[in-house]
Every structure is written in structure tokens, then in C-alpha cells.
Amino acid sequence: MPLTKVKHSLPVFNPFARLGRARYSTVAPLATTILAAVLIEFIVNSILHSPEAVGIPAIFVFIALIVYFSFRDGIKGGLITTGITVGYYLYIIYSRDYSGEQLRGSLETTVLLGSLYAGISVVIGWLKQTLDRVIVQEIEARELAEQGRIRLESILDQLPVGVILADAKTNSMQANRYLEKILQQKLIPEIPDDISKTRNTTTRNGKVLKPNEWPITQALREGKRVFAQEIEVIKPEGKRLFLRVNATPIRNGTRKIVAAVSTVYDITTEKEHEQRKNDFINMASHELKTPITSMKLYLELLERRVQKSQDIKTIEALKKIQRQTDRLQELINDLLDVSRIQTGKLRFQKESFDLCEGVEETIEVVGQLAKNHRILFKKKASINVYADRFRIYQVLTNLLTNAIKYSPPESKIIIKVTKEDKKAVVSVQDFGIGIDQDQLKKVFDRLYQVTDSKEKTFPGLGMGLYISKEIIRRHHGKIWVESQKGKGSTFNFTLPLSSS
């Protein structure tokens, strides 16, 4: 930034203002002092006829001039005036033909006065120069700050994300252009203290937020850091906006919160797409269930007929169709569960039941699919948990089916149920292909599937573990896996014990 021209200085009356700045800083003191000296000379000679009479007033006139010029132009201006004044005094002494004692006295006075004038010039000029410097610095600092502000503002306005800046001292907010575009309105600068003073209704998970509960105010007033919070803004005309908001407090050197900044992403379209997708999956799944229902009924009918004829091959074929129909049904149920999880509609009906019994029943059902796997489970005393029986069976089925699917026939599968401080722990261990360390965390992700060494995938849509994770998580339990590639995997989960 080019330094500001020193036009900012103390305001001083300037009789030569129109002469142009550069020249008159030396011209003005010269001209004015000569004018003053000539004027004094004129008064003394033509009116008063008494040089002594103007001695003292003349000193004041000169001091006033020196003060003025040293204040206006600094030390230089004062010294020029001093020089002219001393010159004038010497001219007087010369022109009056002083001699002897008188000459010495006059010269001494001149030296004395000259030193006084020079002293005044230096002191006042220095004061003035220092003052000017301070003022210039202050102004430059202000300009720098202003430029910084303008720069920041234009950067913020260019960002493709909404930004709110809130100030603690003024209790006010400022929005960038993008946020105004999202909201299609200007932000009211003052942070409202009450819900009745807000224009839009802000909700989170269907609950209306008071201004105090907004992410930006949470950051500003309570120092909370808000990350990826999803809120909904309902405008007076009924339009809904879905926003993903972050907010963070800004602290000064003493850790005091002075401001807060919030970033706002408009995820309305995203949400609408997701909603439409979920609606579609939901509808399609239900529509698919109807033909499966009648397929299963007709299969039952056929089987009953064929059973009487003892046609073994046809019976086998029908059994296979039946198994495939069941698989289709499971896939549809999984799809529905995934869509329920994503719309937050997965509901549980909890009851107290014996987890060991659940494991036994699951083995009985799933074990039929196993090809010679040896499923080992030693039932001990009953371990009661408080959970949704059907959903926990679903998790057990998923884990056991996976163990069978990913391990060779005739290998062992070990299931254990134990009690560990107020929790029930279930583990399902197989000796199959195992999971790579870098895949371990991802197996619980939606639609993730483990591949083997030849990158071969296994049948299925990869929804089982994702659903299981959500079920266990919503039961306040934990689910995790330990595995070694090529040696097998152990899936574990915990559930809170039933209090009764």
C-alpha cells in the first residue's frame, strides 16, 4: 500500500493556503516575518517615534509568529522565522548606529532573544512533528484496518458458502452475500432475544429453536463449537430450507469470546433428493412384497400337490424356488430397513429376554443353510437383556450368515455369550477369509462389501452389517470386529443387561 500523503495533520489556519503546498512552507514564514518586521519598523518610525515603546509588544508579535510557524511547518518554519527576526534586530542595531555599552547590550539582548526564539521553535516544532507522526500512524492504521475489512468482506462475498459473523460487544450479526442468497433476504443485524422477534422459524429435528439455541449464538454466548448440525428454516410464506451449519467462537488473547463465525450450507435440494429416494425405496419395497406374497402362496399350493405325487426332483426344485423367494424377501426387508434408518424411522419394541435362547434359535434357523459348518455354542446360565427381540435376532442372523458365507465348508464357527460389567457380550468367530486391516472400519458402512484376495465379491448388497450396527447403536451397545486376513474374523457386540 502506498503511504498516505501527509495531508492529514493538525488543522492550522494558513494564510497562504492557495499558493500551493510545496513551496510556501519556507516562503510563508519568510514573507510573513519580513512583513511583520517592516510593519513594526513603520509603526516605530512614523507613528510612535520611540523605539523603546514597541520593544516588548514586538517580542510578543515575533513569539506569536514563531509559535505559529513552528506549529504549522515544524522546526524548520520556526527557525526561519527566528532567523528573520534576529536579522531584523541586527538591522535595527546597525541602522541606529549603536556603539559601546549600548551596542554590547543590544547584541546581548539579540542573542538572548534569538536563543529564546530558537528554543521555542525547536520545542514547539518537535511537538508538532511528533503529533503529526502519531496522527499519521493512527490514520494509516485505520486505513489498513479498513482495507482489511473491505478485503475480508469481498472474499466472504465471493465464497460459495453462507457465512455469519457475530460480534459479542454489539450483539449483532453480519451475513455474506451467499447467505442472503440462500435465505433470499437480508439478515436482521441485531440478534433477537426472543422467538417473537424472529422472521423465520428455525427448527432442529422438528423442535423449534429459540434464538439462544441457534448455532451462532451457542458459539458466541456459550463458546460451543457446532459441527455439521442440520437445521430447518421455515419462512413465513411456508418455504422450507434445510441447512447444514458449523459455528465456532473467536477468542481474544485473554480467551474471552469476542465474536463467532458460522458457515452455512444449503442442503435443501440434497434433502429433497434423499427424501424422494427414500420414498421410492419405501414404496417399491411395499409394492414388491405383494407379488412375493402371492408367489409364496402359490409355491405352497404347488408343493402340497407335488408332495402327494412323490416327485422328488420337482420337490427339490420347488424348495430351491422357495429359498430364493425367501432371499428376495430378505433383500426387500433390508432395503426397507436401510431406508428406515436413514429417515430415522427405525423403531424398537423392547422387552426382557434370554440372549442365549436367541442365539440357539438363530443357530437352528440359520444352521440349515450351513454346508457342514460346525457351529459351536455352549449354553450357560441365561443372560437376560432388555432389547427388541426381533431386531437382535436379525443382528445374530446377519453375523452368523456372514460367518458361514465367508468361511470354507466344514470349518468351525464359535459363538460365545458372556457377561461383562453390566453388559452382555456376544462374539461370533469364524475361520474364513478374514478382513484386511484397511477394510476393517469400512465393513459397517452402508453398501460396503469385503472382497477376497482375487477381488472376488460375495453375493449380497452389503446392507446387513450397516443395519446391525444401527440396531446395536440404537440399543446403546457397541459392535466391532477383530480380524486377520486369511485367518478369520470375530464379530462382537454388547447389549445392556436387563435390570430385572
Partner 1 sequence: MKKILVVDDDEGIVDSLEEILEEEGYQVDSTVRGEEALPKVLTFRPDLVVLDVLISGTDGRDVCRQLKQTPNTKDIPVVMISARTDTRPSALKAGAADFISKPFDVDDLLRSIQKRLD
Interface positions with partner 1 (CB under 8 A) = 286, 289-298, 300-301, 304, 325, 329, 345, 347
In whole angstroms, give the CA distance from residue 365 to residue 482: 25
In the bound state with partner 1, the residue whose beta carbon lies nearer, of 88 and 393, is 393
Q: What angle do CA 442, 446, 450 make, to 5 degrees?
A: 45
Would you give the distance in Å from CA 200 to the centre of its chain?
22
**From the CB of 428, what's the least distance to partner 1, in Å?**
26
Q: What single DSSP character describes residue 2?
A: P
In the bound state with partner 1, the residue whose beta carbon lies nearer, of 138 and 326, is 326
Q: Identify the residue whose cell numbers are 427414500.
A: 278
* DSSP-derived 3-state class of residue 208: strand
Q: How many CB atoms lie within 10 A of CB 47?
A: 10
Q: Which amino acid is at 67?
A: V
**From the CB of 347, what's the least distance to partner 1, in Å?**
8
**From the CB of 303, what's the least distance to partner 1, in Å?**
10
Would you give the distance in Å from CA 389 to the centre of its chain?
42
Alpha helices per DSSP H over 165-261: 177-183, 215-222
For helices 51-73 and 21-42, angle between their N-to-C axes, nearest 10 degrees: 170
Q: How many CB atoms lie within 10 A of CB 295?
A: 15
In the bound state with partner 1, the residue whose beta carbon lies nearer, of 297 and 369, is 297
Full strand arrangement of the beta sheet holding 412-420: 374-377, 412-420, 423-430, 488-496, 479-484
C-alpha cell at 76: 524548520
Strands (E), 281-381: 351-354, 374-377
In the bound state with partner 1, the residue whose beta carbon lies nearer, of 135 and 295, is 295
Contact at 8 Å (CB) between 142 and 6? no
How many DSSP H helices and E strands does the chain contain?
11, 14
**From the CB of 302, what's the least distance to partner 1, in Å?**
10
**From the CB of 334, what's the least distance to partner 1, in Å?**
14
In the bound state with partner 1, the residue whose beta carbon lies nearer, of 394 and 489, is 394
**From the CB of 333, what's the least distance to partner 1, in Å?**
9
In the bound state with partner 1, the residue whose beta carbon lies nearer, of 200 and 343, is 343
In the bound state with partner 1, the residue whose beta carbon lies nearer, of 64 and 365, is 365
In the bound state with partner 1, the residue whose beta carbon lies nearer, of 5 and 304, is 304
Instruction: Select from 88, 66, 92 the least CA-distant residue to 79.
Output: 66
Helix (H) or strand (E) holding 342: helix 312-342
In the bound state with partner 1, the residue whose beta carbon lies nearer, of 303 and 452, is 303
Burial classification of residue 481, based on how many CB atoms lie within 10 Å of its CB (0-12 exposed, 13-18 middle, 19 or more buried): buried
In the bound state with partner 1, the residue whose beta carbon lies nearer, of 224 and 296, is 296
**From the CB of 309, what's the least distance to partner 1, in Å?**
15
**From the CB of 325, what's the least distance to partner 1, in Å?**
8
**From the CB of 327, what's the least distance to partner 1, in Å?**
12
**From the CB of 323, what's the least distance to partner 1, in Å?**
13
